[in-house]
Amino acid sequence: MKIRKTTRKSTGIKIALLISAIDILVIILAFCFFMLGVAQRAGGQVAQITTQQEYKIKVARLHHLLADWYIYPGAFAKWEMGSTSFPDWLENKVVDKYGRPKLELKIEPSICLTDKQLLNKYRPINLLYITGHDREHAVMPVIYSTGKKEILQEHFSCIERDAFRKYILTGGIIFFDDGGPSDEFTQRFIRELKIIFPKEKIIEIPKDHEIYHVIFDFQTLPLGWDLYKHKKAEPRPIKGLEINGRLAVIISQNYLLPGMENLALDPDIAGYISQSDWEKLTADIYRFITNLFFYTRK
C-alpha cells in the first residue's frame, strides 16, 4: 500500500510539473507572439527605409579599346567650385517627402568586360557607361604599371562579347555616349551590338517611352553639348536596343557626359558657351541622366 501511495504521489508531482511546464510554454509563446507583433509593427518602418534604400545605384565606366574610353572623367564627380556637380544636384533636387535623397549614387572604378565583378550578382553594377571619340581623335593613355600605351582594337574579343551579352541578359543596362564629331565610334559600337544580339534591332526611342518621363517629364529631346560644340540645330535622336521589352542599351550622340563636366575647370568648354547657357544645358542633362538611373532600378 505504501508503494502505491508513493507511486500516486510521484505521479501527482509529475503531472504538476507537466502543468507548470505547459504554463511556462504558454507564457513563452505568448511573449513570442507579442514580440512578433512589435516586430511587424516596426517592420512597416523598416520596409519604408528599405524602400528608400532600394534607390541605390552603382555606376561604372567601361574600360574598352574601341576608343579613348577615359574621356570626361568629371561627369559624375563631385567638386567644390564652379557649377553645381551632378551628385550635389541629385542630392538637393531628387528628394522624398521627408527631404531625404531618393537615389544613392555610387560611382565604381572603371571596369573591363572580362572583369568578374561585372557579373557579380551580389554586388551588381546597374549601369555601365561607355564613352569615346572618333579613332582619329583618340589618344590612348599610358598604363603606368607597364609604361606602355594601350592599343586601339577594331572590335571586342569573343570573350568580351560573351560578357557583354551576359551582363545585358542578367539585367544590366549600358549607356553609350559618343564624344566624336562624326558617327564613326557610334557605328563601330552598333556593329558590335548586331554581332552580340543579331536578332534584335536598334530603334529610335519614342518620345513617349518611360525613360523620358519616369521622374522628369521631357516633351522634347534633352539638350547636349553637341549643340554648342558643333552648332547642331537640334539634338540627334537617342537610339536603343530592347531585350524582352526592356530598354537594355541607350545610344546617345549628343555629348551628354561632356555637358556634366565642371565649366570652371575646363577652358576648352568655356570658350564655346556662356555660364547661363551652361547651367541650362547641365540641368537638362542632369534630369535625363536621373531618369536613366531610376529606369535601371525598375
Are 253 and 117 within one domain? yes
Is 49 in the same domain as 63? no
pLDDT in tens, 124-139: 899 999 998 877 777 7
Do residues 83 and 132 both lie within one domain? yes
124 in the same domain as 168: yes
Which amino acid is residue 84, in one-letter code?
T
User: Are 181 and 92 members of one domain?
Assistant: yes
Number of domains the chain contains: 2
Are residue 206 and residue 168 in the same domain, yes or no?
A: yes
Q: In what order do the strands lie in the sheet with 239-243?
A: 104-107, 56-61, 127-132, 173-178, 246-252, 239-243, 202-204
User: 117 and 6 in one domain?
Assistant: no
Return the residue matching grid coordinates 555606376: 59
pTM comes to 0.77
Q: Is 8 exposed, middle or buried (0-12, 13-18, 19+ CB in 10 A)?
A: exposed
Are 139 and 234 contained in the same domain? Answer: yes
Domain boundary among 28, 53, 78: 53
Residues in the chain, overall count = 298
- Residues 16, 93 within the same domain: no
Looking up residue 234, the CATH number of its domain turns out to be: 3.40.50.12140
pLDDT tens, residue order, the chain (298 aa): 444 444 444 555 555 544 555 555 555 555 444 443 433 333 222 222 233 444 688 899 999 989 888 888 888 888 777 678 888 888 888 886 666 678 888 888 899 999 988 888 777 899 999 998 877 777 777 665 556 778 888 899 999 999 999 999 999 999 999 877 778 899 999 999 999 999 999 999 999 999 999 999 999 988 888 777 767 668 889 999 999 889 999 999 988 998 888 766 666 666 677 778 888 888 899 999 999 999 997 7
Distance CA 261, CA 59 (A): 17
DSSP state of 251: E
Secondary element (H or E) of residue 204: strand 202-204
**Structural contact between residues 207 and 213, judged by C-beta atoms closer than 8 angstroms:** no
C-alpha span between 51 and 230 (Å, rounded): 43
Helix boundaries (H) for 170-217: 184-196
Give Rg (Cα) of the chain. 29
Domain encompassing residue 9:
1-53
**In this structure, is the dihedral angle defined by the CA atoms of residues 112, 113, 118 and 120, taken in order, positive or negative?**
negative
Q: Are residues 13 and 130 in the same domain?
A: no
